[in-house]
Structure 1
Amino acid sequence: MGVVRPLRTGAQHADYGFFGPDSVTWKVWSYPTSLALGFLRAVVVEELDPFLLASVEQSGQVVARPRLRYDRTMQYFATVKFGDTASVLAAADTLMKIHARAIGTDPVTGRQYDANDPDSQLWIHLTAWHSILYTYEVFGPGKLSAAEEGQYWEECARAAEFQTIDPADVPRSRDGIRAYFASYRPRLIASENAQRMMDFLLDADAIVLPPELPAPLRRLFTAVTRRAVVATLPRWMRRLGGTPQPRVVDALAIAVTRPVIRLVAASTALQMAVLRAASPRTVPVIEPVLRGTPPQRPVVSTPAEAYAAHGPTPREQYTALLEARARQQGPAPYPAGHREPLLDFA
């Protein structure tokens, strides 16, 4: 399936995609905490995985074009959660093709990495879903009900079907998520490159804010955002990442950030203004949701229904890709320092 161009601002989606207004996903992911704090927390934590870090460094684009990479990542995740069925399938197909060439040797472990590997995809997927929920709890309305949280993790498994992940591997509870991170912890490495990349990503003004904003405002934003994100990290992760922070700073960062987030959440106009500044590619995807614009067809699809009509699934594509590589065929790895094409995910 080809890339579907973004909707014009204010346009309707064709349908509700795979979640819809009754989903907990819409409730949590549409809250302003996801835009900066949740996504920044996720990408900072992810750098502790040596395979992901090797892929990031092979590309070099996170450092070379941080705002673009942030914008495109936001666009992809927003499309899966809020886009219509055709846009989600197109985004999944595009991501699969981009990752198909992101293979190579990790210089830290000496092992092969593959951006489409289901284990690597699961790490990214769960880190994002957990970070979005956790920042929603800390800086937003608070914890979900038990029923809502159960639904949230079920929906997390549904979203996993648009990557190479086996949805059976997705935990369905907070205890399951904790067990997953505990099992993954021995694979994380506090290399100098990981710490340098985490520090770079915590300088949020270079990633989130338009460059034309005044320097004092940018410095203030980074000072607060950096400390707010670190305040959500467990102590052991701060030690790995070289990001120590006293508890009193944690408390102050949360106390300062929480009312600002809630102020933005109370105004659709403010949310749209922040979104346009931080991730313009995401605007056409989320605007109909924030404004309550109904789709052309108010129906929610399932991945099974969609792929039965439009397959193959990402997992099937990955199997075919591995078979092609075994025959020494398939896409060639990206060369060092390549520049990715400016593709749209929605």
Structure 2
Amino acid sequence: MASLRAWLSLPEVTPAEDYGFFGPESVAWQVWSYPTGLTIGFQRAVVIEELDPRLIAAVDATSAIYTRPRTRYDRTLRYFAMVMFAGSQATVAAADILVKIHSKAVGIDPVTGEQYDANDPDSQLWIHLTAWHSLLIAYERFGPGKLSAADETQYWHECARAAELQTCDPDDIPRTREGVAEYFEYMRPRLIGSDIAKKAMNHLLDAEVMLPPMPPILRPMFTLVAAFLRRGTLATMPRWMREMAGLPTGRVLDALVVPWLSAAMTVVSLNTRLELLLLQLISPTTVPVAAPMLLGVPPKNPVTTTPRRAQREYGYDIPAQAHHALRDKQRNRVLGKGLAPSDEGLIESQPILGDIA
């Protein structure tokens, strides 16, 4: 019952320093703040990502999604939310430390025999576009519906702005739905439904892995919720992706889950406290980031900026140029000496992204 009481006790809301890179007038806030965003949209993103053989090789090598699934999910969701809703200084600091974390994810992919590096611009582009596309798809399927043409154009331009926090080139971000579709078609022959990808995707489709221990009386309810989220996430995935990963492709269940999840998301969207309680259940460290936005608490300085301006102002290198000494050191340890990478970036990240224990 102590865990239940902790779940029902929301933390005090602290205003952000500024609106970061988007703010309440952005289309990205509209899409990402809807309950579909940090639930089905986020789950879809992390599941689909695993089809990239380079990414899944890095994920499988660390085994963190299996050994500490809740903290891994929590920290990743917190970073996603920071990009969208946190103040500019905190977010560029998080993006900088992420380069250090990714420096340890280097090695040889056992499936393709090629080198992988989580800081590789192509890998970062795949992660970034998969995330932004997934949150939009979930919003359209289970939320208010398709954006207007003008709003969607703005959304993809905002996606390019957020790419300034990654090691990829923002100029590589498509600015239209058609361009994004072309990107996924380009990636399609490069994706592999390997055994390690299938294992990870099935694991991440189980929403229960991100939940804390539940009192016995609540377990049946949350098992049902997790089943609906899994089916809803599957319903947003193209059939070719599901076939590649050996996942169910039934059209009937796809259709049946839509009205139920749409109704549930509508109910949650009308009750901010309920939305925060659900977020606290799946990602407690994300609540302080999202709460000011959901509650309409203005920041101390109600302005927006861009990642590039913030990086210059607060003294951070752009991610593509950051921490090359550490990245070289990690590559030498792993690829040159056959040793395990060091955890210094991961340990250093805890005050920003949350504990790894």
TM-score calculated relative to the size of structure 1: 0.92
- Report the CA distance between 1:222 and its aligned residue: 2.2
CA gap of 1:86–1:330, structure 2 versus 1, over 3 A, is farther
Partner residue, 1:222 = 226
Q: Is the counterpart of residue 190 in structure 1 residue 193 in structure 2?
A: yes
1:300-319 aligned at under 5 Å gives the runs 300-309=304-313, 310-317=315-322
Say which SS state the counterpart of residue 322 (structure 2) adopts.
Answer: helix
1:139-218 aligned at under 5 Å gives the runs 139-207=142-210, 209-213=211-215, 214-218=218-222
CA gap of 1:160–1:21, structure 2 versus 1, over 3 A, is same
Letter in 1 for 2:350: L
Partner residue, 1:4 = none
Q: Which whole-Å deviations, capped at 9, do the CAs of 1:290-311 have from their partners, x for residues lacking one?
A: 1111111111112232222223
- Contact conserved, 2:333 with 2:341, CA < 8 A, in 1? no
Match of 1:281 among 275, 280, 285: 285
Partner residue, 1:52 = 55
CA gap of 1:181–1:296, structure 2 versus 1, over 3 A, is same
Say which SS state the counterpart of residue 125 (structure 2) adopts.
Answer: helix
Distance in 1, matches of 2:88 and 2:127, equals 22
Distance in 1, matches of 2:270 and 2:207, equals 23
Distance in 2, matches of 1:219 and 1:330, equals 40
Letter in 2 for 1:158: R
Letter in 1 for 2:321: E
Match of 2:12 among 9, 16, 26: 9
| Cα-Cα RMSD | 2.4
Q: Is the counterpart of residue 255 in structure 1 residue 259 in structure 2?
A: yes
Distance in 2, matches of 1:182 and 1:158, equals 23
CA gap of 1:325–1:66, structure 2 versus 1, over 3 A, is closer
Partner residue, 1:290 = 294
Partner residue, 1:81 = 84
Distance in 1, matches of 2:288 and 2:324, equals 33
Distance in 1, matches of 2:70 and 2:96, equals 23
Q: Is the counterpart of residue 240 in structure 1 residue 244 in structure 2?
A: yes
- Contact conserved, 2:92 with 2:307, CA < 8 A, in 1? no
Say which SS state the counterpart of residue 230 (structure 2) adopts.
Answer: helix
Distance in 2, matches of 1:32 and 1:187, equals 32
Say which SS state the counterpart of residue 225 (structure 1) adopts.
Answer: helix
Partner residue, 1:34 = 37
1:82-101 aligned at under 5 Å gives the runs 82-101=85-104
CA gap of 1:273–1:325, structure 2 versus 1, over 3 A, is closer
Say which SS state the counterpart of residue 296 (structure 1) adopts.
Answer: coil
- Report the CA distance between 1:320 and its aligned residue: 6.2
Distance in 1, matches of 2:40 and 2:310, equals 32
- Report the CA distance between 1:202 and its aligned residue: 1.0
Say which SS state the counterpart of residue 107 (structure 2) adopts.
Answer: strand
Distance in 1, matches of 2:125 and 2:332, equals 26
Letter in 1 for 2:44: R
Partner residue, 1:3 = none
CA gap of 1:149–1:222, structure 2 versus 1, over 3 A, is same
Equivalent pairs counted in the alignment come to 337
Partner residue, 1:265 = 269
Of the structure 1 ranges 12-21 and 213-222, higher mean CA displacement relative to structure 2 is found in 213-222
Say which SS state the counterpart of residue 179 (structure 1) adopts.
Answer: helix
- Contact conserved, 2:156 with 2:176, CA < 8 A, in 1? yes
Letter in 2 for 1:211: P
- Report the CA distance between 1:120 and its aligned residue: 0.2
TM-score calculated relative to the size of structure 2: 0.89
Relative to its length, the structure with more helix (as a share) is 2
Give 5+ residue unaligned stretches, structure 2: 1-10
- Contact conserved, 2:164 with 2:170, CA < 8 A, in 1? yes
Q: Which whole-Å deviations, capped at 9, do the CAs of 1:70-98 have from their partners, x for residues lacking one?
A: 11011001111111011111110110110
Q: Which whole-Å deviations, capped at 9, do the CAs of 1:138-186 have from their partners, x for residues lacking one?
A: 0000011111100100010110111101000000000000000000011
